[in-house]
Amino acid sequence: MVTAEALLALGVVVTIAFAVIGLARGWRREAWTLGALVVVWLLALVANGAVVSLVNGAGRLLGFVLAGGLAARDSDAIWRDLAARPLVDPARPELLIAALFAVAVVASYIAPAARVGREPRFGDRFVGLAMGCVNGYLVACALLKYGVPTALGTGARVAADLFGRFAALALVVAIAVLAVYAWLNLRHARPSTSRRASPQRAPARASSRRRRPRQS
Q: pLDDT digit string (tens) for 75-133? A: 788 888 888 888 877 777 777 888 888 888 888 878 765 555 566 677 778 888 888 88
CA dist 151 and 89 (Å) reads 16
204: in domain: no
Give the pLDDT of residue 76: 80
Task: Give yes or no for residue 156 having a pLDDT over 50.
Answer: yes
CA dist 75 and 93 (Å) reads 28
Closest to 98 measured CA to CA, from 57, 138, 53, 46: 138
DSSP 153: T
Out of 56-60, 120-124, 169-173, 191-195, pick the least confident. 191-195
Give the pLDDT of residue 194: 46
Task: Give yes or no for residue 62 having a pLDDT over 70.
Answer: yes
Give the pLDDT of residue 210: 55
For residue 151, what are the domain limits? 4-52+93-188
Domain count, the chain: 1
CA dist 147 and 68 (Å) reads 35
Residue 94: φ, ψ to 5°: -65, -45
Give the pLDDT of residue 193: 46
3-state helix, strand, coil in the chain (%, to 5): 85, 0, 15
22: in domain: yes
**Cβ neighbours around 160 below 10 Å, total:** 23
64: in domain: no
62: in domain: no
87: in domain: no
Give the pLDDT of residue 186: 72
123: in domain: yes
Cβ-contact 125, 24 below 8 angstroms:
yes
Q: Is the dihedral of CA 65, 71, 72, 78 positive or negative?
A: positive
Closest to 82 measured CA to CA, from 58, 55, 60: 60
Cβ-contact 136, 19 below 8 angstroms:
yes
Closest to 181 measured CA to CA, from 122, 106, 134, 138: 122
Mean residue pLDDT across the chain: 73
Task: Give yes or no for residue 26 having a pLDDT over 70.
Answer: yes
83: in domain: no
| Stated pTM of the model | 0.64
206: in domain: no
Cβ-contact 7, 144 below 8 angstroms:
yes
Task: Give yes or no for residue 36 having a pLDDT over 60.
Answer: yes
